[in-house]
Amino acid sequence: MMFQQAIVRKPCKALINGLTDHPELGAPDYEKALAQHAEYVKTLERLGAKVTVLEADENYPDSCFVEDVAVLCPECAVLTRPGAPSRAGEVEQMAPVLEQFYPKEKIFSLQPPATLEGGDVMKVGKQFFVGLSHRTNQEGINQLAQILAPYGYTVTAVPFEGVLHLKTGAVYLENGQMLMKNTFFDMPCFAEYKKMVVPDQEDYAANCVWFNGKVIVPAGYPTVLEMVKKAGYETVLCDTSEYKKIDGGLSCLSLRFSPQTENLAE
Ligand code: CIR
The verdict on the CB of residue 247 being under 6 Å from ligand 1 is: yes
pLDDT at 37: 98
pLDDT at 210: 98
8-state DSSP, 9: E
Q: What's the chain's length in residues?
A: 266
Position in ligand 1 atom list of the atom nearest CA 117: 12
pLDDT at 261: 64
Position in ligand 1 atom list of the atom nearest CA 87: 3
Residues classed as catalytic: 165, 252
- What are the residue ranges in the chain where pLDDT is below 50? 265-266
Position in ligand 1 atom list of the atom nearest CA 18: 5
pLDDT at 1: 75
Instruction: Extract long-range pairs of 172-177: CB within 8 Å, 24+ residues apart.
Output: 172/122, 172/123, 172/124, 172/210, 173/208, 173/210, 173/215, 173/228, 173/231, 173/233, 174/1, 174/210, 177/231
Map residue 64 onto helix, strand or coil: coil
pLDDT at 263: 53
The verdict on the CB of residue 242 being under 6 Å from ligand 1 is: no
The verdict on the CB of residue 84 being under 6 Å from ligand 1 is: yes
The verdict on the CB of residue 61 being under 6 Å from ligand 1 is: no
pLDDT at 265: 47
pLDDT at 266: 46
